[in-house]
Structure 1
């Protein structure tokens, strides 16, 4: 019962922090971590203890699915440099550098143990970045870079972590060739598994007629994909990401299903993120109790390793900026020195770091075993909580409004123009069956409420009402057709390489909402006044 009470309290606290974050402009995950960490001062509060080996399987699949469903193959291809240079190379370099510093600072620490610690600290957490960067007003182009990096860097860090842990626990050396083959097998097998599961899941979802059962299916698939990948020793992270991208690319649903699915996953993402960050804060009490007299040594080591991880990221991003400047590249990020600082500051560690540290077995012979949780929490303090709380302030100081469409406004305008053009083409197909003023009325209805025209006073009241109902029904049918044409155009745009899927989804959400209302109105009109087969709806 205590665990249930603790989880309920954590969920309520999550909602409260979301509200406070909206009011204050501060990122609510960072606020939640700080508030729940205050539990160390209240020993009577129940502790929510989830086994370390269950942290990743419980939280990572749904949160990664929620993030990956907002991207596309075209976006991944456009940002492939971010995947390679940031998600893979930078993660490995950070793991090795942080591990080397830890090995140098802590005498009893073995090389394998140092690399275990470095791999756990190396990956910025996609959940932390997504929950903090967007509310702080980080430009869409930079947020897309951070999200793309976050979708794949966990896989690189987990492979390095497992290899180092294998050496630590088994005492067997792992050669470079074996390490490279393990990485490629883990990534390749996960990719193939993700494609297969994504296609099968899309087929099953398309077969479902009920939005509730379809959303329930999307809830189960991430967990099944992660477990299946781990069973064949592949990367569960990559498998879930690929399955989500394939699934959403092949899913054939209407406006109502898309709106309900988005709402469902927004709630899932919020609550799971809240529980994950709440557990990070709540774990502080147990960590402090376990470390005992080595508390300040662990705090000092965590602070130093946090600084090293930040400096490695800063130097690497500066090198990318110099390379882009010399080659004249204007795609991706960073393109300016301000962007280098922002991307380095937003390299927030989170759930993966804590889960990997807690998964080290007590029998591994790790000389810093009792200090590990405190080291991880200090790293999260310096790389997630402090940057998260100061990111809005930093955004106000940095001039990030320059550059190619930083907030996606130009892309949004282009998408709206394309949607309107598609709607106009659909309406123009009825130019022969409707007078020009009627078509103009429908065009206006696409953006605002429709209006009616004066009728001939000589006609009877019944005749006027019949014609008005027929015209209104016809207007509604053409409006639905126009909105569907806009919807199809936006879905095509989402598959284009130069389009940000998140911006497309924002515009598509508005069209879906209009289409849903228009279809409901048309259905209502048909039920109230079904058309007569012998009478033209446009006579007169």
Structure 2
């Protein structure tokens, strides 16, 4: 049996890699391909039955998957799209669960209202894996990608909280309290934000003090579980705590982790993410025959077909209706109101005069908030979500990992459980097939206009030049620099000013060699200016005048420079 498990695991890895390569060459979404291969594998002669405990998925697979996505999602993108992300991942998930529950209970009275709400909860959260994979290849606007990724991070928590309340209603003789659900949801969110934020901050501080990539990577493996289980024990949302911990780690890591640690973490978590996502979609297809067999004595083909079509139709209608509000909102009027408010705020700041250092610091912080507000307005004008963008977001409503795993957590012995679990699985499968196959064509038909390579290059150079100039302004002229209280040799100052420092500030990766007797001073000075450039980049990123892609590109250049200096 042990040899069989290793054989299955090895075959699964080979299948994942082959599916990924085939998907890249053909354009077929990899998750859809993996589900199909899983279904085919389940019908092979002698294929063993594999029973996956759904708790293993929810507590063992989902936390690292969410953490991996959260730590790589730029915090500035999440903040700027928070209103739309919250609407889709919280309000629409709750509304969808309740509407689906009410309609299913009305059309299929044998399915109790709490069980119907549980079905609505498990099919409500979207899975952005397939959508973002297609979007990156076809050219989906970065902001639409950020919305899809942010939605898929938060909606899992919303759905699982509603599911928890519905399951409690099933156990309590089919009673369901909307008020109790609201209170539980409020605590689940508040508790998760606090726990996830504290865990993320503490682990970043610990990893900052360790100069060992192996230990840092090991700690990063533990973070999602350290955040998940305490939150669940306190009846908060474990998955939301993981998301918050990931966002905090990603936001602070750009300043507090070394370039080597960031690169190691990125490579490691990308690999883990690939294996876990691919494995779950493969298992999702492999389980289909079992789910069909389990539901045969519980329902008829006509009943399950009707249930699946009703749920799927409601999901599609609710998603597009829910997006109509944000799409029709007068964004131009909103921007004008916000611009007027910022103008008033700026006038108030200009009228303030003080000689106290503490007050000056507060005014400086207020001016940074003002600059961030103006940058947000410019971002809205530069990268608006148009009607075509909302249409694409609506069409990217694929379901996946959470839907299948969460459905199977409905207590065994619940009447019509097998029907509900199979319906959830089939709804997820239909969305993967329908949306997964047609999304590339939809995106191409929308004919999105992306940022030109010239504009990206200009933005990159402008930001790099800005952080270089800020570093020089902060540190002062080279002639005034000292090392251990001693002034720098005049000849070295001249060489640094003429040859080396311009290359560092311009982000050019080549560093000329110097005489052995001045190597240490040269390295120290270059690292000093590099650190000042990092501080300037962090300050500029907090304002957000450039795109997250530009910030990542400049950070990559600084990381590369740091690694080269460390190896010199």
TM-score range, shorter chain: 0.7 to 0.9
Q: Where in structure 2 are the equivalents of 1:323-472 lying within 5 Å? A: 323-325=329-331, 327-329=333-335, 331=380, 335-365=385-415, 367=416, 369-401=417-449, 412=460, 414-422=462-470, 429-430=477-478, 433-435=492-494, 439-440=498-499, 442-444=501-503, 446-447=507-508, 449=510
Mapped partners of 2:425, 2:457: distance in 1: 38
- 1:21 corresponds in structure 2 to 23
- In the superposition, relative to structure 1, how do residues 82 and 139 fare at CA in structure 2: closer, same or farther (>3 Å)? same
Deviations 1:138-175 (A, max 9, x none): 21111111122222111211111111111112216343
**CA displacement at 1:30 relative to structure 2:** 2.4
- 1:123 corresponds in structure 2 to 125
Mapped partners of 2:309, 2:547: distance in 1: 36
**CA displacement at 1:326 relative to structure 2:** 7.0
Mapped partners of 1:435, 1:209: distance in 2: 34
Mapped partners of 2:38, 2:71: distance in 1: 30
- 1:257 corresponds in structure 2 to 261
- 1:488 corresponds in structure 2 to 535
Q: Where in structure 2 are the equivalents of 1:7-406 lying within 5 Å? A: 7-71=9-73, 74-171=76-173, 173-251=175-253, 252-292=256-296, 294-295=300-301, 297-325=303-331, 327-329=333-335, 331=380, 335-365=385-415, 367=416, 369-401=417-449
Mapped partners of 1:499, 1:45: distance in 2: 53
- In the superposition, relative to structure 1, how do residues 4 and 386 fare at CA in structure 2: closer, same or farther (>3 Å)? farther
Q: Give the conservation status (yes or no) of the 8 Å contact 2:27–2:134.
A: no
Q: What secondary structure is seen at the aligned counterpart in 1 of 2:96? A: helix
Mapped partners of 2:99, 2:546: distance in 1: 36
**CA displacement at 1:386 relative to structure 2:** 3.0
Deviates more, 1:304-313 or 1:488-497: 488-497
Deviations 1:265-284 (A, max 9, x none): 11111111111211112111
Mapped partners of 1:388, 1:511: distance in 2: 38
Mapped partners of 2:551, 2:28: distance in 1: 26
**CA displacement at 1:234 relative to structure 2:** 0.8
Mapped partners of 1:511, 1:483: distance in 2: 7
Q: Give the conservation status (yes or no) of the 8 Å contact 1:68–1:241.
A: yes
**CA displacement at 1:335 relative to structure 2:** 3.2
Q: What secondary structure is seen at the aligned counterpart in 2 of 1:489? A: helix
- In the superposition, relative to structure 1, how do residues 46 and 428 fare at CA in structure 2: closer, same or farther (>3 Å)? farther
Mapped partners of 1:504, 1:344: distance in 2: 29
Deviates more, 1:212-221 or 1:435-444: 435-444
Mapped partners of 1:183, 1:517: distance in 2: 49
- In the superposition, relative to structure 1, how do residues 421 and 10 fare at CA in structure 2: closer, same or farther (>3 Å)? farther
Q: Give the conservation status (yes or no) of the 8 Å contact 2:74–2:251.
A: yes
Mapped partners of 2:441, 2:157: distance in 1: 32
Mapped partners of 1:404, 1:448: distance in 2: 25
- In the superposition, relative to structure 1, how do residues 68 and 413 fare at CA in structure 2: closer, same or farther (>3 Å)? farther
Q: What secondary structure is seen at the aligned counterpart in 1 of 2:175? A: coil
**CA displacement at 1:397 relative to structure 2:** 1.3
**CA displacement at 1:235 relative to structure 2:** 0.3
Structure 1 unaligned segments of length 5 or more: list them: 453-466, 522-540
Mapped partners of 1:224, 1:43: distance in 2: 42
Asked if 1:513 is matched to 2:563, the reply is no
Aligned residues: 504
Q: CA RMSD in A?
A: 3.2
- In the superposition, relative to structure 1, how do residues 413 and 110 fare at CA in structure 2: closer, same or farther (>3 Å)? farther
**CA displacement at 1:339 relative to structure 2:** 1.1
Q: What secondary structure is seen at the aligned counterpart in 1 of 2:543? A: coil
Q: Give the conservation status (yes or no) of the 8 Å contact 1:96–1:115.
A: yes
Mapped partners of 2:88, 2:459: distance in 1: 25
Mapped partners of 1:170, 1:490: distance in 2: 55
Mapped partners of 2:23, 2:247: distance in 1: 30
Mapped partners of 1:422, 1:21: distance in 2: 45
**CA displacement at 1:205 relative to structure 2:** 1.6
Q: Give the conservation status (yes or no) of the 8 Å contact 1:259–1:509.
A: no
TM-score (norm: length of structure 1): 0.83
Deviations 1:99-157 (A, max 9, x none): 23322332312211211111111111254544444344321111111122222111211
Mapped partners of 1:227, 1:300: distance in 2: 38
Q: Give the conservation status (yes or no) of the 8 Å contact 1:287–1:373.
A: yes
Mapped partners of 1:248, 1:509: distance in 2: 15
- In the superposition, relative to structure 1, how do residues 502 and 58 fare at CA in structure 2: closer, same or farther (>3 Å)? farther
**CA displacement at 1:209 relative to structure 2:** 2.6
TM-score (norm: length of structure 2): 0.80
**CA displacement at 1:243 relative to structure 2:** 1.8
- 2:350 corresponds in structure 1 to none
Mapped partners of 2:458, 2:174: distance in 1: 56
Deviates more, 1:103-112 or 1:271-280: 103-112
Mapped partners of 2:554, 2:19: distance in 1: 28
